[in-house]
Amino acid sequence: MRVLVTGASGFLGRAVAAAIVAAGHEVRCLQRRPSGVTGATDVLGTITDPAGVAEAVAGVDAVVHLAAKVSLAGSPADFETVNVGGTRTLLAAARAAGVGRLVFVSSPSVAHSGASITGSDAEPADPARARGDYARTKAAAELLALAADSAELRVVAVRPHLVWGPGDTQLIARIVERARAGRLPLLGHGAALIDTTYIDNAASAIEAALERVDAVHGNSYVITNGEPRPVAELLAGICAAAGVAAPAWSVPASVARTAGSVIEAAWRVFPGQDEPPMTRFLAEQLSTAHWFDQRRTRADLHWTPAATLDEGLERLAAHYRSL
């Protein structure tokens, strides 16, 4: 199968492209910077450029769409342009080019209203309920993608939850950096159960979705390790792997949420160099439970996670030791 992967220079995109190459497919990657994926062909460009996208999809059998603005801050218009506009552009190009399969890589936050999730399956994406610009625009994009699902273009949405692993510059690097600086508090008592996805598992699940799209198109699937843990244990495990001290102080969850709202608002007015240290969305994510029912995902995608949480942490530790 000839497969286009968008956003392959990102942490997850690179792993997904590599997994698809490893599965014996011919892979083309579309993103602004070189993907660095061995065995894949790079097409440099942006997802918001219709001509470039049309060129990239020409002749492929399937598209795996990861390109997105993933951030905790930024102007709402940017999120809209990249996440919604980019998806719309890609869908139009794919239809025009007669592409048969599309895997839309989404996020569980598209259906997350901020309340605890304790073992529910993928709920429908809902831009009205989703928290923050990222989740809202990804929700709108997932709805667009699934609306495009048809006999000719089979679309499936997969939502890996909190992907982490060696080389992650988003989640892991930020946690470790802040912990090292003594700026990583626990929110609340840290007992909220959170499920995460080790990078190799996320990549293999998306690859599995690509193989299974003809049978499962039209659906959304949450992807996780299926091993929820108290958030404090997860942070401690990550810090231990990186050789830094685990958070030893905590901020009440309600304070963090309020602070998150204030900081988020301030960042809109005075955008900083870095991302805001706390947003309301992040505060909610770190102080409420979110773990999912994985039975349908595993049965439909014919997939089980290969690496356990503990194995993932060992590989992370090996990675930090090698730095």
Catalytic positions, please?
A: 134
Nearest distance from residue 228's CB to another protein, in Å?
Answer: 5
Of 291, 305, 307, 313, the one binding another protein by CB under 8 A: 291
Of 2, 32, 295, 321, the one binding another protein by CB under 8 A: 295
**Nearer CB in complex with another protein: 58/289:** 289
Of 61, 233, 300, 311, the one binding another protein by CB under 8 A: 233
Crossing angle, helix 309-322 and helix 231-242, to 10 degrees? 30
Alpha helices in the chain (DSSP H): 11-22, 50-57, 76-79, 86-97, 132-147, 171-180, 199-216, 231-242, 253-269, 280-287, 295-301, 309-322
**Nearer CB in complex with another protein: 10/237:** 237
Binding positions for another protein, 84-123, rule CB under 8 A: 116, 118-120
The reply to whether 137 sits near another protein by the rule CB under 8 A is no
**Nearer CB in complex with another protein: 75/254:** 254
Of 289, 311, 315, 319, the one binding another protein by CB under 8 A: 289
Task: Please give the angle made by the CA atoms of 229, 139 and 84, to the nearest 5 degrees.
Answer: 135
**Nearer CB in complex with another protein: 216/236:** 236
For residues 83-120, one letter each, b for 16 or more C-beta atoms within 10 angstroms of the residue's C-beta and e for the rest, the string is bbbbbbbbbebbeebebbbbbbbbbbbbbbebeebeee
**Nearer CB in complex with another protein: 266/299:** 299
Of 130, 134, 287, 305, the one binding another protein by CB under 8 A: 287
Count, residues near another protein per rule CB under 8 A: 26
Cα–Cα distances (Å) from 27 to 43, 62, 129, 156, in that order, read 11, 10, 36, 19
Q: Are strands 229-230 and 193-194 parallel, antiparallel or unpaired?
A: antiparallel
Task: Please give the angle made by the CA atoms of 223, 224 and 226, to the nearest 5 degrees.
Answer: 130
Binding range to another protein, per CB under 8 A, among 8-16, 35-43, 87-95, 283-291:
283-291
Binding positions for another protein, 245-274, rule CB under 8 A: 253
Nearest distance from residue 233's CB to another protein, in Å?
Answer: 7
| Residue written as token pair 């062909």 | 41
> Residues 104, 145: contact at Cβ < 8 Å?
yes
Contact letters for another protein, residues 168-197 (x by CB under 8 A): --------------------xxxxxx----
Q: Please tell me the distance from the alpha carbon of residue 213 to that of residue 96, in angstroms, as a whole number.
A: 19
Measured over the CA atoms of residue 136, residue 74, residue 35 and residue 226, the dihedral's sign is: negative
**Nearer CB in complex with another protein: 98/243:** 243
Nearest distance from residue 257's CB to another protein, in Å?
Answer: 11
* Residue 192 neighbours by CB under 8 Å, 6+ apart: 116, 230, 231, 286, 287, 288, 289
Binding range to another protein, per CB under 8 A, among 2-10, 47-55, 98-106, 223-231:
223-231
Residues within the interface to another protein (CB under 8 A): 116, 118-120, 188-193, 226-230, 232-233, 236, 253, 287-289, 291, 293-295
